[in-house]
Amino acid sequence: MLRRGLTLEFVIRFDDRVVIVTGAGRGLGAAYAELLARRGATVVVHDAGVERDGSGGDPEIAARVARAIVSAGGVAESAAQNLASREACDELISGVLSTHGRIDALVQSAGIVRYAGIADTPDSEWHRMQQINVDAAWWLCRAVWPSMREREFGRIVLTTSGFALRPIPGADVTGYSVGKAALVGLMNGLAAEGAPHRILVNCIEPVAATRIFRREVGKHEMTPESVAPAAALLASEECRWSGQILVAQDGEFAFDRMVRTQPSQAATPEDLLDLATRDAPDLSL
């Protein structure tokens, strides 16, 4: 596991790079946008400015972050499309391409969560979660893909969740978990498609105290800023891998990979039981 204080022999910079960060008006997305701008990126701060339930819309939410970046000496602009429709996703991408002529990285951080089990999730809430958590990522990637492929360069960072990758006792976010698991499939498909064109696609699995967090945390615990280095790395030219999930929590980072056995044509169920008992984390509920 990588920890704070890791020393690199080079500095990751984003000079002359254009990066879109969705959901960047608050929390994780804002921390990503601010770090990228400090490292030289031209950042498009996107946020529809909706309430936690998805209602409303306030363009000032994104504009305020963009102004703060500019005041600190960075380069930023804001956008506030509601990404629930393909048309809005296309509008965001085409607008940035029209203004800047390029998009070097897309960090898809926008998402919504509903707290309910499968039997208690209304149809309307299920469809809304899929619109924002799955469809928006699909349409944004589809819209940005041709320009990245033409330029033979691109970085896409999708956001998954621990709720999607493993059972967490007591969780009541099944609809949200489904959407975040879908993004792992999107990552894998696009990582394969993008490889010949130098387009790398990865997921970040962040844990931070944002407005959807439900338990009390300390003032300096689980801050969005402690997660931001992972998003910056995956969005950078120095990123060299694709189809990976980078877990980021409270300044600690690790790649989330499958546990694999040694090849054996004679493996038994008991061999796998031994693997789960000896080499894997506790998988029991």
Give the burial string for 242-256 (b: 16+ CB within 10 Å, else e).
bbbbbbbbbeebeee
**How is the chain split into domains, by residue range?**
18-259
Catalytic positions, written as ranges = 176
CA angle 27, 159, 223 (to 5 degrees): 30
End-to-end CA distance of the chain: 24
CATH value of 18-259 in 3.30.310.80, 3.40.50.720, 1.20.1440.130, 3.10.290.10? 3.40.50.720
Backbone angles phi and psi of 251, in degrees to 5: 85, 5
Q: Per-residue pLDDT tens, the chain, 285 aa: give them.
A: 344 444 445 589 999 999 999 999 999 999 999 999 999 999 999 999 987 766 778 999 999 999 999 999 999 999 999 999 999 999 999 999 999 999 999 999 999 888 899 999 999 999 999 999 999 999 999 999 999 999 999 999 999 998 888 888 888 899 999 999 999 999 999 999 999 999 999 999 998 755 555 555 556 566 889 889 999 999 999 999 999 999 988 778 888 876 566 666 677 776 666 665 665 544 443
Please indicate, yes or no, whether the overall pTM of this predicted structure exceeds 0.85: yes
Strand partners, 77: 44
The full DSSP string for 11-25 is ----TT-EEEEETTT
Would you list the DSSP string of 140-168? HHHHHHHHHHHHT-EEEEEE--HHHHS--
